[in-house]
Structure 1
Amino acid sequence: MRFRFITFIILIAPALLTSHHARADTGSDGYLCCNLRTDGRWISDINYIEDGKTLIPAGTPVKVTGQGRQRIYIEVLGGRQALGNDYSRNLGLDAFASRYIVREDPSLKLATYPENIRAAIAGARLTPGMTREQVFMAVGYPVSSENPSLAAATLRFWTSSFAEFRVSFDAGGLVTDVSADPETRKLVVYAP
């Protein structure tokens, strides 16, 4: 009996685990939902603004090539990188992947926005009057560990582990204010 149980664990259990865990849509093509920063190999959901990181624009084509523990492997800009679920671990890997990798190219919608909104998003910055979707395109999604609801009146983001900014929305879902210390405001608020 023990031999059969061990055989089950070795031969059958891996397939059962794979079918019950969230799986990224491996091999699928899509686009980045939003502006994300990378060091060339790792893209974190916290999206810190750090020296040595470059911005990958919203709408950049990606191909999902696999998954690992709390990460989705993607091909983007001609190289392989990992999109890390560092601070949104209450989201399953499929939900996390579908938040950041979308089927429809966001740059098509971006082209229809007013000039000041397009410029703000291109610079990964925020401006009053933006919708939630436009905020997410510009600076990425807020981490779910600190923002359980994307519909909250105020969402919290960070540019570093010590620099927080808060985005406030009116009842219609438009940005009314971005509150932060003066240095952080310079990094995240659009000034034409």
Structure 2
Amino acid sequence: MMRKIFNMALFFLPVLFSGCARTVIVQEALQLPEGAKVYTNYNIWYDDPDDISSLNYQSGKFMPFGTEVEIVEADGRSFTFREKSNGQKFRISYDESWMMIPIEDYLKRFLTTKDREQLSAGIKPAVLDKVSKGLVDEGMTRKEVLLAYGYPVVHRTPSLKDDTWIYWIKPLVTTRVVFKGDIVIAILKFDE
């Protein structure tokens, strides 16, 4: 009897400890041709490059939009990438229960094949200067807000067509960017 229990334990322990991690093939998720260059689609904010929240808290330093990156590895809970220009590694922790979209969809928002010049095409120099500093101001377009702050989290802003986008500055502190049509008309800061 003990031998039977031992054998069952040997079978189930690896299954128990293997968790739910799965490999995500970024090139397939993004439908990239082999060897394609990828860039950040918006400014990526972080305090610790080894532990960046997928909520993209708007504090600390940031990696500018249009930065060429290389994906090192990705699974259902995180992905690691390297900045091509200097080799620095970054790791984004991903929590699908907060993000409410599969990591593959998040990667489609996070990465692009467009470089900085293509992403900023048509943006006035004064506005581009603000976006490049991670600032959002009245009069900016939705596209410009996306470059500066990234995508708002789906559980607070279900649709990009909404008139108000809610961003996290840090836990329990938010900023609301209010639009009339395509233009920012107000920026409201709240401590919740």
TM exceeding 0.5? yes
Structure of larger gyration radius = 2
* 1:44-55 equivalent positions in 2, closer than 5 A: 44-50=53-59, 53-55=60-62
Is the partner of 1:64 in helix, strand or coil?
A: strand
* 1:7-26 equivalent positions in 2, closer than 5 A: 23-25=25-27
Structure 1 position 160, deviation (Å): 1.1
Q: Alpha-carbon deviations, 1:69-92, whole Å to 9, x = none? A: 322221124122222324753211
How many residues align? The count is: 164
Query: Scaled by the length of structure 1, what TM-score is found?
Result: 0.73
Closer/same/farther in 2, CA of residues 133 and 105 from structure 1, 3 Å limit: same
Closer/same/farther in 2, CA of residues 94 and 28 from structure 1, 3 Å limit: farther
Structure 1 position 22, deviation (Å): 6.1
CA distance in 2, matches of 1:66, 1:28: 16
- Long gaps (5+) in structure 2: 1-13, 15-20, 29-34
Q: Which residue of 2 aligns with 1:176?
A: 185
Is the partner of 1:95 in helix, strand or coil?
A: helix
Q: Which residue of 2 aligns with 1:186?
A: none
Q: 1:110 aligned to 2:126?
A: no
Query: Scaled by the length of structure 2, what TM-score is found?
Result: 0.73
Structure 1 position 166, deviation (Å): 0.5
Q: 1:82 aligned to 2:91?
A: yes
Q: 1:30 aligned to 2:32?
A: no
Is the partner of 1:133 in helix, strand or coil?
A: helix
CA distance in 1, matches of 2:95, 2:131: 24
Q: 1:164 aligned to 2:171?
A: no
Q: Which amino acid aligns with 2:72?
A: T
Q: Cα RMSD over matched residues?
A: 2.9
Equivalent pairs: percent with the same residue?
A: 22
